[in-house]
Structure 1
């Protein structure tokens, strides 16, 4: 029994305990606070508080269960890696940072978990240690530093309240302008961590990390931290202008990432853009004031998204670490189990009836129709849902049923039992998880009364997405190569967002740095300071060396000079 298997067993056991504890808290309507005071300064106490309510415990069980499955899967995925043990320790630290963030109602301890997530995600993104990984890691950590700075500013403003336990202020401080300022900073932090526009560029770039890390990051840890923090702050900000802006930002993110995924060819990046689209949906419904629905979709999305990445990892393994879907094809004949699991996860993502994704997505879109939503947000939400189905059909076509376009001497096969076991458990949850969660999250039956045409609108959008996916694939193959490149550069590049948010910001600063290096380090500064100082130091050293030589004449000269100096001062 190796470290991976033991870690997976411990985490899955803790997940089960957390789930049972969460059910106990729900049925008894309880919240538990554990508090430890470190010290007090200027009437503000530094207190470590742990909050166990139904949201934190259910989310904890989800995070730990998915982490256990990913670690079990990683045992064989990372089998040939020299730094296999280091990878395991990084993943466990990553999960511990997320756990600390989940159970903290205190901004100081949230910052510890938040910064831990940012730092360890950087270490995991640069795990393969090449230029691409390094660039992706720098983009990831620098984008996340904006959110870290926002939380630090929020901590500084909360000094006025006597405690950093924001959970106690949310209900009765919602009219305070300072609390709105703190809420705005928290929204900024949540947008950076959950990669909303204009911070979306780092999410596809973070695909440079190993695939098990992508499965963990994109399902239940790093990117969901921002959504979870905003769910905690939602009582303060519901019906405010800040949440309305967040709703529009989420809808735009959903639309742009859905469009980008339809013109992307990297398998992992397509699934990453799919995550970005679902995060946009969570932010959109959260901005509309339905925090429980956002939390429900957060949990449901975690199951099938982690499974999608694990299946993608097996495909990439089988194709000798090649990720371009144009070289795949006809895999269904060689890897039937992986293809079946992958397609069930895809259907759950699309919101096909009675799979996990259906329960949350259908409810969100129907509740959206009941709110006073403007036409733009309504249009973006429904079109983006159709695009989700469109790129899912595209992945299915290119990966599984198109012609095989890679080397003939390649070994396509389903992997061993440890990798399959991790997928099978998530596969079961992708089918049954939504039905189980809806009993927990909405114990009172929620019925949405709508006309028949609006009830069928969601299903209509799904079928329109299927048709659009088939047509896009057909017409795209007929297009010339130059036209394809023009399309790819704009739509596949998330509407030039990487150029605007990263290259556009960094290029000027880096150019200025080069100019200053030329002027200061390699220019007059070197001539005046370095070279001049060097020659003067040489002269001084020669002089002192001359003095230190055992020359009687020099000693007498110094003695006479000293006597003369004393005589001049005292006379």
Structure 2
């Protein structure tokens, strides 16, 4: 009973805070206000310890979105985690996670950003290992260690900021942006953001973090952990140099392409959605690298909505299918779970950029901006190819789970009876449909001037249609030559294995050293070292001591025998 009450209290508190902050953010946006609040915690002689808070339309709006999604996730968890004995601990961890994100969002100070940043890393480790098994522990360790690299980069940035005499970076951005020290700080912050937002070569932790419970995945992949890096870069976008922008663009586009390609060869439902998050993060990074931080922020908010809903629907399906995540065992679920499938279809279409849903307003705007910029041909083609791949894996996912043939047990109890989960999903659905248009009117009060030829204007639509058709056709003829020719990839050698990134970042860190240590242990510790070391010396001493003991125990007999032998020896010598 207590667990249900803590879920409901958490839900209502977060929802009320969310709505309040949204109203404040609208006020700040319309009035163009920025508020910096400083609270002196401690003053000792000339030293003062001050907690700073930066409140502007961006931080308030992002906080309201994070709190809204968190409230829905906690409400959804009430039924999803119903059988769990430690649901109170789970809800507390989620609230700590949200609090860490709040701290990161409102901080104009690198020290308090580090507190939120580290809080996210530590609580995410606790949430990833929540189901206590070997797979979860491994995934948690990869997540924690990969994020630790980002923490170190942030600590180095804090050390470099000593050159300015204060850690309030917000004060130095405009007039110090060409300073050498500020350039170093921007590079360190970019590296930190790359680890948190799982850009190449730090991508392998994101699909591994799927070991966490599905409500946590909905929270992590929509608005908290992975978006922290993008948000930090949005704040630091003023000081990023041309070189850093170029590098970020290259890495972002590559991540987007790699994740889109990998998702087309994956059969784990949650991993497909995780790779789709990775693809969208690549899109945010690359448009941010092109200087359009408002577009990146807009896509961050719309993506948070439909991605949270997508994970909620996936959780509902996994719950109903007795914890099965393989999409090949699903199929024809629209007959058994119509409301869940409707929500999943709409969020999938929003992800693809279907006109007038949330994803369309941000994604289409970004792609048209890319078409207007002076990018080289490779980047431009990769942008649109990645968009096509997004639609391709979305339609593949729809075919395998929602339509297609039903491949689960003949005796089953699939239904839409989880009313608490459905209420949370349907409330999210409302925002997936309407948040894109309303946010575009709020954030961009004057329309963006986009002037393109007809063919380039229609290119986004054409790429999406071709991608969707390909995804459906490849899935439909899953036993045909197309699928058989891709067997090499399906078994995870290249595409499904994220371009061997786990070999570089994960196996390189743990598998190869472990194998080397095993060989050393076998050949050295238990081999030659054993022979010439402890055991060998022990055996030698034992043999010698046994010989000496034998002589000591039988010394009279041995003395007489030796005397007889000596007399015989003398006798033989005399005869000779």
TM-score (norm 2): 0.88
1:413-471 deviation per Cα after TM superposition (whole angstroms, max 9, x unaligned): 11332111111111011100000111221122223111111111111111111121123
Q: What pairs with 1:34-53 in structure 2 (closer than 5 Å)?
A: 34-38=37-41, 46-53=49-56
Q: Which residue of 2 aligns with 1:439?
A: 441
Residues 39, 509 of structure 1: CA spacing in aligned structure 2 closer, same or farther, 3 A cutoff? farther
Match in the other structure for 1:372: 374
Contact 2:396/2:475 (8 A) holds in 1: yes
Aligned pairs (5 A) from 1:273-352: 273-352=275-354
| 1:48–1:428 CA distance, 2 compared to 1 (3 A) | same
Alignment of 1:117-266 (within 5 A): 117-237=120-240, 240-266=242-268
Aligned positions of 1:14-53 closer than 5 A = 14-38=17-41, 46-53=49-56
Q: Return the alpha-carbon distance in structure 2 between the equivalents of residues 487 and 509 of structure 1.
A: 27
**1:91 aligns to 2:78 (yes or no):** no
Tell me how far apart the structure 2 counterparts of residues 464 and 511 of structure 1 sit (CA, whole Å). 46
Name the SS of the counterpart of 1:361 in structure 2: helix
Give CA-to-partner distance per residue, 1:295-323, whole Å, 9 cap, x none: 00000000000000000001001100000
> Looking at CA atoms only, which structure, 1 or 2, has the larger radius of gyration?
2
- Aligned 8 A contact 1:43 1:162 in 2: no
- CA positional deviation for 1:476: 3.9
Q: CA deviation at 1:47?
A: 2.9
What is the alpha-carbon distance in structure 2 between the residues aligned to residue 181 and residue 451 of structure 1? 41
Distance 1:481 1:353 in 2: 31
Instruction: Answer whether contact 1:44 1:159 (CA < 8 A) is retained.
Output: no
Cα root mean square deviation, aligned = 2.3
User: 2 CA distance for matches of 1:520 and 1:391?
Assistant: 50
Shift of 1:177: 1.1
TM-score by length of 1: 0.89
Q: Which runs of 5 or more residues in structure 1 are unaligned? A: 533-571
Displacement, 1:28? 1.0
Q: What is the number of equivalent residue pairs in this alignment? A: 531
Q: Deviations over 1:315-372 (max 9, x none)?
A: 0011000000000011111111111111000000000100000000000000111211
1:311–1:423 CA contact under 8 A, matched in 2:
yes
CA-CA distance at 1:472 after TM superposition: 2.2
The 3-state SS of whatever aligns with 2:142 is: helix
Q: Does 1:11 align with 2:17?
A: no
Structure 2 Cα separation of the partners of residues 29 and 393 of structure 1: 42
CA contact (8 A) 2:477 2:483 kept: no
Provide the residue aligned with 2:74 in structure 1.
71
